Structure 1
Amino acid sequence: MQSVAEAIREVLLTCEPRDKVVRARAVVRAWRRGELKARFDVDMPDEPGRPDKPELLPPNRMPRRGKGGSERGRIALLHALAHIEFVAIDLAFDMAGRFGARFPRAFVDDWLSVGADEAMHFALLDRRLRALGSAYGALPAHAGLWESARVTAHDPLARLAVVPMVLEARGLDVTPTTVERARRAGDEATARILDRIYTDEIRHVGIGTRWFEHGCREDRIACETHWQALVREYFTGVLKPPFNDSARRSAGLTRSYYGPLAK
C-alpha cells in the first residue's frame, strides 16, 4: 500500500494544473477510504512542480490589474486569484506531508480537506476565466507565493502562523469587497465563486488557528505572543487594516493575535 507521504509528494511534483487538480482530489479520496498508509517515509520537495505558463514575475514587475470593473480587469483579477489557489493546493498538501508525522491523524485529515477545497477553487476560477475567453497561464503571475513555505519549512508553528493565519486571513478582509464589486458590474457568476471561496476560507483559517493553538499547548507556549514573534520573524509584509474582525473571530483568530502588530 502506498504511503500518504508518497501520494502527497506526487501531487506536489505534478506540474500541469489540471493534472494537479485531478491527482489532489484522488489522493484525498484514497486517504478517506483508507487506501493510503499513514506513514511519512519520504521527504517533501523544496519546490513544487510548476507549469511552463504563467510566467512568474517578482512583485515589483507585476503589472497593475486595476479593480476589476471592466471585463479585462475582471480577467486579470480572476487570473491572480486562480494563481493564489493553485499555489494554495501545494501549500495545503505540503502542510500535511511535511508536518503530518508531528501531529494527530486529524491534522492530515484537515489539511488534505483544505487541499481538496483549493483544487476545487482553482478549477472554478479557471472555468470562469475560460468562459470569459481566457485561461490560467494567459497572464503573468506572482513569483513569491511559495516563499512563505520555503522560510517556514523547518517549523510547523511558523508555517501555521504565516500561511493560514496571515495570508489566508487576509483573504477574509478583502474578498467581501471584491464580491460586491463583481455584483455591481453585473458579474453574478464571479460573485458566486468568490462567495464560495470566502466561506471555505473561514474554515481554513479556523483549521490553521486550531492546530496552531494545539501545538502551542503541547509546547506550553503562550499562543498570541508566540504567534506575534513568528509573524515578526517570518512574514515580510505588514498587517494592515481594515480587518474583517467578525470573519476572523468566527475562525478563532481574535484581535488579541493581530491587533498588536497592526500598522
Structure 2
Amino acid sequence: MTLVNAALEALGTSDARAKAMRSRELATEWFSGRIAEIGSAPIPERPARPEAPILMPPADVPKRKITRGLPGRIALLHALSHIELNAIDLAWDIAARFTHEKLPREFYDDWVKVADDEARHFLMLDDILREMGSHYGALPAHDGLWEAAMKTADDLFGRLAIVPLVLEARGLDVTPAMIEKLKKAEDETSAAALQVIHDDEITHVAAGKRWFEYLCQRDGLPEIETWQNLVQTLFRGILKRPFNVVSRERAGFSAAFYDPIAS
C-alpha cells in the first residue's frame, strides 16, 4: 500500500467512526514504515459521507448556544464533530492530491499527523456525545467546509492559504471562549476536550504556515502579499476580529499577514 492508497481508503470510507478509526491505523502504518511509498492516483472531488447528518446550507443550520443546557452543549459538540470529520478528509486530501509537486517527505509526515489528530478529536467528541445520549449524525450540519477544498483542488498555494491559515486559524480564535462557557456550565469533560483540540490546532496552523512559506521561497514569491491575494480571491467570507494573537503567534502566524485585510 502507498500513502495515496491509504488516503483513498480513508476518503472512501463513509461511516464516520470507521473513517476516524481507520485513519488512526493508517497513520500508525505510515509512521512505522509499513507504508513507505507515496504513490500517485486520481483523487475524488468529494469524500464518502454517511447518510446522516442531513446537510443544509450554512444559514439554515440551527444556531447552537451553550446556555441552552444539555441540548445546547450537544448541538455545539455535534457541530465541532462535523468540523473534525471534514478535517480528517481535508488532511488526507492534501497529502494525496498534490504529489505532482514533488514535496519533501516531511510534508506528508505533517499531513498524516494532522489526519491522525483530527481522527482522535472526532472520536473524542463523538464519545462525549454518546455519553450525553446523542451521537454524530443526530443533528443537521452544513457542507460549507468542503467548498474550500473544491475551490483549491488544483492549487496547493490556495489550499494552504485557506484551510489551515484561515479556517483552522479561526478555530484558534473562537475555541477559548467556548471552553470558558463550558466551564461555566460545569462541563469540564467537554472543556478539556476542546482544550486538547485547540492546542493541537496550533500545530496544524504551524504546518500550514511552514509549507506555505516553503512554496513561496521555492518559487521566489513574497509570502505576505501572496497569502493576502489568495485569501481575497478564494475566501468567500471575511477575516473576523478579534484574533487570538497569542495562539496564532505560537503557530508562527504573525498579525502582519491577516490584520491588514481583516474586517
TM-score range, shorter chain: over 0.9
* 1:41 positional shift: 2.1
RMSD value, Cα: 1.0
2:227–2:257: 8 Å Cα contact kept in structure 1?
yes
- Structure 2: distance between partners of 1:22 and 1:72: 27
* 1:260 positional shift: 1.2
1:57–1:141: 8 Å Cα contact kept in structure 2?
yes
- Structure 2: distance between partners of 1:173 and 1:65: 17
* 1:100 positional shift: 3.8
- Structure 2: distance between partners of 1:101 and 1:115: 20
Residues 229-261 of structure 1: CA deviation (Å, up to 9, x unaligned): 100111100001000011101101101100111
SS of the aligned residue for 2:237 comes to coil
Contiguous gaps of at least 5 residues in structure 2: none
The match for 1:27 is 26
Question: Is residue 208 from structure 1 mapped to residue 208 from structure 2 by the alignment?
Answer: yes
SS of the aligned residue for 1:181 comes to helix
1:69–1:185: 8 Å Cα contact kept in structure 2?
no
* 1:68 positional shift: 4.4
* 1:180 positional shift: 0.4
- Structure 1: distance between partners of 2:3 and 2:163: 22
Residues 188-240 of structure 1: CA deviation (Å, up to 9, x unaligned): 00000000000001110001001100011001000000000100111100001
- Structure 1: distance between partners of 2:30 and 2:59: 40
- Structure 2: distance between partners of 1:64 and 1:224: 34
* 1:69 positional shift: 4.5
Give the number of equivalent residue pairs. 262
Aligned pairs for 1:113-124 (under 5 A) are: 113-124=113-124
* 1:63 positional shift: 1.2
The match for 1:39 is 38
The match for 1:155 is 155
Q: Say which is worse superposed, 16-25 or 58-67, in terms of deviation.
A: 58-67
Contiguous gaps of at least 5 residues in structure 1: none
- Structure 2: distance between partners of 1:27 and 1:147: 26
* 1:70 positional shift: 1.1
1:40–1:101: 8 Å Cα contact kept in structure 2?
no
Residues 142-161 of structure 1: CA deviation (Å, up to 9, x unaligned): 12110000000111110000
The match for 1:66 is 65
The match for 2:137 is 137
Residues 28-72 of structure 1: CA deviation (Å, up to 9, x unaligned): 111112222423321111100000000000112111222444111
The match for 2:219 is 219
The match for 1:50 is 49
SS of the aligned residue for 1:70 comes to helix
Aligned pairs for 1:48-197 (under 5 A) are: 48-102=47-101, 103-197=103-197
- Structure 1: distance between partners of 2:262 and 2:81: 28
- Structure 1: distance between partners of 2:67 and 2:256: 33
Return closer, same or farther for 1:17/1:68 CA change in 2, 3 Å cut-off: farther
Give the letter for the 1:93 counterpart: W
What is the TM-score when the length of structure 1 is the normalising length? 0.97
- Structure 2: distance between partners of 1:142 and 1:6: 28
1:4–1:39: 8 Å Cα contact kept in structure 2?
yes
1:69–1:181: 8 Å Cα contact kept in structure 2?
no
